[in-house]
């Protein structure tokens, strides 16, 4: 992919096209954690990749002490809600424009987010449910509590949480699960025996879950 394409949509990003000749595969939207970049989750995407799907991986535009993020926070676990909503809308526009530039199907986008990336993926589900069909959320928190819940009846969501996560409490994880459940999403939680870091077992579990929730 040339450098012009990588920047012309407003986000530095990676796009790796599908090698599925039928052209009807899903696109994995990769959303990295704080301090990550657009390449971080590609190895995980390769493990999860349904039918050799496309990969779209943007770099977060907000810097916190030099570390890329997708939106600002006021302190650990305290989000700048106005900025979160602005950045969520901005990300939704990027995805729509990328679908035109790279000719992938907006009906089959699977978010794979870790930590900060999982949080903005959750925000996308709440503010722009039309953008995502499926989401795998590693270590997400409740991004915000909407005044009105969207209808997520057709959405499949897999939450991967750490039993001993020092950043995301069990209660916060369960609150997010409840929000998605009340919005009628098909949502599951997998509890990994770890902290905030990712573990091999949950990636395997996410791959197995995904294989049962995509066509």
Domain total in the chain:
1
DSSP string, the chain: --HHHHHTTSS-EEEE----TTS---EEEEE--TT--TTTTHHHHHHH-GGG-EEEEEPP-EEETTEEESS-EEETTEE-HHHHHHHHHHHHHHHHHHHHHHT--TTSEEEEEETHHHHHHHHHHHH-TTT-SEEEEES-------SS----TT-EEEEEEETT-SSS-HHHHHHHHHHHHHTT-EEEEEEESSSSS--HHHHHHHHHHHHTT--
Domain of 24, in residue numbers: 3-211
Per-residue pLDDT, 120:
98
pLDDT per residue as tens, the chain (215 positions)? 555 556 678 999 999 998 765 555 899 999 999 999 999 999 999 999 755 789 999 999 999 999 999 999 998 888 999 999 999 999 999 999 999 999 999 999 999 999 999 999 999 999 999 999 999 999 999 999 999 999 999 999 999 999 999 999 999 999 999 999 999 999 999 999 999 999 999 999 999 999 887 75
Active centre residues (catalytic)? 115, 165, 196
CATH code for the domain of 124: 3.40.50.1820
């Amino acid at each position: 992919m040339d450098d012009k394409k990588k920047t012309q949509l407003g986000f530095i990003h990676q796009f790796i096209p599908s090698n599925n000749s039928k052209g009807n595969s899903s696109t994995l939207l990769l959303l990295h954690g704080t301090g990550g970049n657009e390449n971080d989750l590609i190895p995980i995407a390769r493990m999860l990749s349904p039918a050799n799907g496309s990969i779209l991986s943007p770099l977060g535009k907000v810097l916190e002490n030099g570390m890329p993020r997708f939106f600002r926070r006021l302190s650990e676990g305290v989000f700048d809600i106005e900025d979160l909503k602005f950045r969520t809308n901005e990300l939704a526009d990027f995805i729509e424009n990328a679908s035109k530039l790279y000719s992938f199907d907006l009906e089959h986008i699977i978010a794979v987010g870790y930590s900060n990336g999982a949080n903005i993926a959750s925000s996308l589900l709440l503010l722009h449910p039309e953008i995502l069909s499926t989401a795998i959320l590693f270590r997400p928190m409740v991004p915000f509590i909407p005044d009105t819940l969207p209808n997520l009846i057709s959405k499949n969501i897999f939450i991967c949480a750490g039993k001993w996560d020092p950043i995301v409490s069990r209660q916060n994880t369960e609150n997010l699960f409840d929000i998605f459940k009340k919005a009628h999403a098909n949502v599951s939680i997998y509890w990994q025996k770890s902290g905030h870091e990712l573990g091999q077992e949950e990636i395997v579990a996410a791959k197995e879950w995904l294989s049962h929730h995509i066509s």
